Chain A
């Protein structure tokens, strides 16, 4: 089946630095990827929709200047947390539409997630 890979799986950084998280679709092309954020013991909240070759679409309340998304190729989307602060510490999960499922419905394949800890 479709596989989505995320890197790094865990990153610790100092406050004020920027961190980049990569999301790759393996063996399939993903024109659209989704970035979710998950706080401990909470559900997933959609942050933004990443579109290959165009600007990302951010959900209400998500700072686009804080969370930069670049979808430069059909297999790679990156999320950069700029000037990270402790409140940005979270679990970030990306996903892409499973190409093995027919069109008309959105079945997502998720990456394993990236845990960001900001000191």
Chain B
């Protein structure tokens, strides 16, 4: 069965600082990997996805993620965080069918 672990429940960074959110997955085959962001009381917005090819994936809002098969990781990064990035971030793993499994989420807080 597929699973996703986001080790950090909360992360606080200063505005302008760099950010890395960790994601580790367990999946038997080549995974499809996603990062979603959720603002309070809202649905989820897709930040980026990895299906195949280049392991460094660029997304919206200046985010990127790197797929590392050897480490079963898909960490999300941003070089300079903005106050508007404060939200909940979910990593997810899926297959070619209809299953998306989400990690527990990481709540990002941004200090001025």
**Contacting residue for B98 out of A4, A6, A32, A41, CB 8 A:** A32
B34 touches A107 (CB 8 A): yes
CB distance from B110 to the nearest CB of A (A): 18
- A-contact bits for B41-53, CB 8 A (1 contact / 0 none): 1111110010100
B100 touches A106 (CB 8 A): yes
- Flag the segment in B64-72, B75-83, B88-96 that touches A: B88-96
Tell me the A73-119 residues at the B interface (CB within 8 Å): 91, 93, 95, 97-98, 104-113, 115
Interface residues on B, range: 20 to 34
What chain B residues lie within 8 Å of A107 (beta carbons)? 34, 46, 49
B105 touches A111 (CB 8 A): no
User: Does residue B28 face the partner (Cβ distance < 8 Å to A)?
Assistant: no
CB distance from A30 to the nearest CB of B (A): 12
CA distance A66 to B9 in the complex (A): 31
- B-contact bits for A47-83, CB 8 A (1 contact / 0 none): 0010000000000000000000000000000000000
A106 touches B94 (CB 8 A): yes
A113-B41 in contact given A44-B90, A105-B94, A106-B95 (Cβ < 8 Å): yes
What chain B residues lie within 8 Å of A44 (beta carbons)? 44, 90, 102
CA distance A102 to B103 in the complex (A): 24
What chain A residues lie within 8 Å of B43 (beta carbons)? 4, 6, 93, 110-113
Supply 5 further A-B pairs (C-beta < 8 A) apart from A106-B96, A106-B98, A111-B43: A34-B98, A34-B100, A45-B102, A46-B99, A110-B44
A-B contact pairs, 24 of them (CB 8 A): A34-B100, A42-B104, A44-B90, A44-B102, A46-B99, A46-B100, A46-B101, A49-B98, A95-B44, A105-B49, A105-B51, A105-B94, A106-B94, A106-B95, A106-B96, A106-B99, A107-B46, A107-B49, A108-B100, A110-B43, A111-B43, A112-B42, A112-B43, A113-B43
Taking beta carbons and an 8 Å cutoff, which residues of B are in contact with A?
32, 34, 36, 41-46, 49, 51, 90, 94-105, 107
